[in-house]
Chain A
Amino acid sequence: MKHLLALTCLSIAGLAAGMASAQMTDAEQIVEEANIASYYAGDDGRSAARMLIVDGNDNRQRRQFTLLRKDVADGGDQRYLVVFSRPADIRGTVFRVEKQVGEADDRWLYLPALDLVKRIAAGDKRTSFVGSHFFYEDISGRGTEEDEHSLIDTTDEYYVIESTPKDPDQVEFARYRTWVDRETMLPMRTEYQRDSGEVYRRMEVTEVETIDGYPTGTEVRMEDLDSGGYTVTQFRFSEYDVGLPDRIFSERSLRNPPRDWLRRD
């Protein structure tokens, strides 16, 4: 018994030490940790977000919304509530998602002018999120099981992962490479390639802050290299483990957004 305890203590200490210094070699494990770091910080979270959408002709559009998230399981199902405050024509629109790993998400949209709760067919997740260069999947995360991952390089700062889709017909890319920060495990850059290897789409985290102990990408840029257009998303007033109750992820919140939980402290 004593031995077992000592052994456990040792291995925990070893694990902790390992996380700080040792180099990870398993691509799947790196991808899982990166997924948790970028989409599952804390048990829940609240953040204000704004997007600047610039097309190839330098026309600018803006979006502003508050995002509430609650994890059902780390690395698994999640609940999202996105409440738009800008621009004027989509103000008051609320988007609710029950993200279900391995099956289609449940999605609802509330249109205030018609008092209409619309259910949205589970569609292609690689389509524009509210007119930006980000896809739905970039906002809520791409299932790690949907691609094969391999570790192609380890630099002082990054693990470089190359991912290829298991079902290439479902996606527009041939492969993508992700630069995962070895310290924070945040994916700092992702480049999407065509068959030829040409990079046509690039995501970059341009600002990181540690919030409530969780390193968080607070400014993210998504570029469409074909058109020259890009979207910059900034997250502010982020908080984790705020104790969001399950009941706010409901039809009630679509018609009557949960003020108490949307308000910044």
Chain B
Amino acid sequence: MGTGSHMTGDWSRWQHRGALLGLLLMVTATPLMAQENGQAEDPWGDEAWGEDPWAEQQTGWRWYGFLEGATATRLHDDPAVGDDYTLNEARLQLEAERALGDYTATIKGDVWIDGVEDGVRGDLREAALAGRLTDRIDVDVGRQILTWGTGDLVFLNDLFPKDYVSFFSGRDDEYLKAPADALKLSWFGDMNIDFVWMPRAAPNRYITGERLSYFSVVEGRRVAAPPTIDPRERDSLGRDSEFALRVYQTIDGVEYAGYAYHGYDNQPSAVDPSTGEAYFPRLSSLGASLRRPALGGIGNLETAYYAGEDSSGDNPNLPNDQWRFLGGFENEPFADFTLGWQYLLEWTRDHDAIIANLPAAQRPYAPDEYRHLLTNRITWQLLRQDLTLSLFTFYSPSDADYYLRPRAIYRFSDQLTGTAGGNLFGGADDWTFHTQLEDNSNLYLRLRYSF
């Protein structure tokens, strides 16, 4: 029986691979055919001016989207996860947009055949109505992607949901941001104000053990599903509301911002001692940022204070308060070559108390009082921007671990883009933030046909 179900699993996986291959072939063949047909008299092809979305008062829906084949193969066998791939999928994204007076309705959804989690999956990424309420107020209501703050792949005051599973497993950067159901009101005046209300908590798409393995402090080793991490949901409409606020202005090229957040931790970082169940604890934060031209580049500073559910360190099942500080600098030392640097400090306030209250077996896994993280981004554009080579490095001297994201993007045409890259994790101790993901290190390949 065990063998039977194993075979079925294998067979369905082969079917998915077949579908993926078919899609890849289709995707690559289409532009070739298009190229042959494209040698008509009008060098602009079918690109009529009238197609410009600003052309005139539009009516009806406009459709956009892409087809994408993506595969990411693990560099090592992962003893915790059976699959040799962190990603194996054929994806269709469709976006529909429609102007309704001063408003725009957007619906964007993904459907994909998933060869890792076996099955057809879907994700509604946007379903929102955005526009001008008055001369001074914009509104954006519905499912949407929300981003603010000055960090580059490092977030302090942006407590909107992230999808680290997608990010680590080899999907496009755009999937790092997960959608949230929200009402966003923006007021524009001497100071600009963004107010976001999420009527139910919008947590991260955190690592559950299904696609990626992680370190379990309880078991003291790297594990994966089953069992999956299955925390108590925060999905009660209204009662589980989250609020985010940003006040900002640019004065003489210097961008100032203040932030506040009241909601829940995006990770299921707390444990209910009575049931042993994980949950999303309360989190509030206050912060500020500054971004400005400096030394021929752009400099940024950002800070945030996280007030967790445990403000004394007495309860190791709850996250403690933290100060976070970020400093960054980016410049272009050579033409088409950009360098970015960041330093992040995470300071856990009551570290001594946490250590004292932890069971002795878990003490080694406790985060340091001061976690230092350095990042570097190198971007090099070649062939008139058809080829982009980049390397993003996370390195933590305190955790003694690293995470490398090398990547090459090539635009074969306006429709077809190929991306090859990697997510490479490593370090000294099994339990640190990046080292725990070591067995998930992968190299990926993606081919996208946009329409």
Contacts and interface: CB of A to CB of B under 8 A. Distances in A.
Interface of A: 48, 50, 52-55, 59-62, 64, 66, 83, 85-89, 91, 98, 104, 106, 113-117, 119-124, 126-128, 130-133, 229, 232, 236-237, 247, 250-252, 255-256, 259-260, 262-264
B145 A114 contact: yes
Interface in B47-77: 47, 49, 51-57, 64-66
A129 to B, nearest CB: 9
A61 B53 contact: no
Nearest to A252: B188
A59 to B, nearest CB: 7
Nearest to A61: B414
Contacts of B255: 119
Contacts of B417: 89
A242 to B, nearest CB: 13
Given A50-B49, A119-B298, A85 B43 contact: no
B145 A131 contact: no
Of A59, A60, A119, which is in contact with the most chain B CB atoms at under 10 Å from its CB? A119
A102 to B, nearest CB: 14
28 contacts: A50-B44, A59-B413, A61-B413, A66-B54, A83-B54, A86-B51, A88-B64, A89-B417, A89-B448, A104-B296, A106-B293, A115-B144, A115-B147, A115-B177, A119-B291, A121-B298, A122-B293, A122-B296, A123-B332, A124-B334, A237-B49, A251-B250, A256-B131, A256-B140, A259-B102, A263-B54, A263-B55, A264-B56
A87 B56 contact: no
Contacts of A237: 49
A259 B54 contact: yes
A201 to B, nearest CB: 13
Interface in B295-340: 296-298, 330-332, 334-336, 338
Nearest to A118: B152
A229 B383 CA distance: 12
Nearest to A89: B450
A88 B253 CA distance: 31
Nearest to A126: B335
Given A87-B415, A124-B334, 13 more contacts: A88-B451, A89-B66, A113-B145, A114-B177, A115-B147, A117-B147, A122-B296, A127-B336, A133-B384, A251-B250, A252-B138, A256-B140, A263-B54
A55 B384 contact: yes
A250 B335 CA distance: 27
B138 A60 contact: no
Nearest to A229: B384
B107 interface: no
Interface in B178-213: 186, 188, 192
B27 interface: no
Contacts of B43: 52, 54, 60, 232
Nearest to A55: B384
B335 A62 contact: no
Given A113-B174, A124-B332, A131-B384, A64 B52 contact: yes
A86 B50 CA distance: 12
A251 B255 CA distance: 11
Contact of A127 (B147, B248, B335): B335
Contacts of B451: 88
Of B66, B138, B414, which is in contact with the most chain A CB atoms at under 10 Å from its CB? B414
Interface of B: 38, 43-45, 47, 49, 51-57, 64-66, 99, 102, 130-132, 138, 140, 144-148, 173-174, 176-177, 186, 188, 192, 248, 250, 253, 255, 291, 293, 296-298, 330-332, 334-336, 338, 381, 384-386, 411, 413-415, 417, 448, 450-451
A260 B132 CA distance: 11
The 6 closest A-B pairs by CB, nearest first: A123-B332, A87-B414, A88-B450, A113-B174, A124-B335, A262-B54
A230 to B, nearest CB: 11
Given A121-B331, A247-B188, A256-B131, A88 B66 contact: yes
A23 B66 CA distance: 57
A115 B47 contact: no
A87 B31 CA distance: 14
A1 B38 CA distance: 71
Contact of A89 (B52, B192, B385, B414): B414
A114 B173 contact: yes
A204 to B, nearest CB: 16
Given A88-B414, A88-B415, A130 B54 contact: no
A137 B186 CA distance: 34
Nearest to B254: A106
Contacts of B145: 113-115
Given A114-B174, A131-B411, A98 B332 contact: no
Contact of B57 (A124, A131, A263): A263
A253 to B, nearest CB: 10
Contact of A264 (B44, B54, B131, B146): B54
Contact of A62 (B44, B65, B174, B338): B44
Contacts of B177: 113-115
Contact of B56 (A91, A128, A263): A263
Nearest to A260: B102
Nearest to A104: B293
Contacts of A132: 384
B293 A62 contact: no
A206 B66 CA distance: 36
A106 B253 CA distance: 7
B109 to A, nearest CB: 14
A50 B335 CA distance: 25
Contacts of A122: 293, 296-297, 332
A173 B52 CA distance: 36
Contacts of A120: 298
Nearest to B332: A123
A6 B210 CA distance: 90
A123 to B, nearest CB: 3
Contacts of B176: 114
Contacts of A87: 414-415, 450
A151 to B, nearest CB: 31
Contacts of B192: 251-252
A110 B384 CA distance: 21
B33 to A, nearest CB: 15
Contacts of A85: 51-54
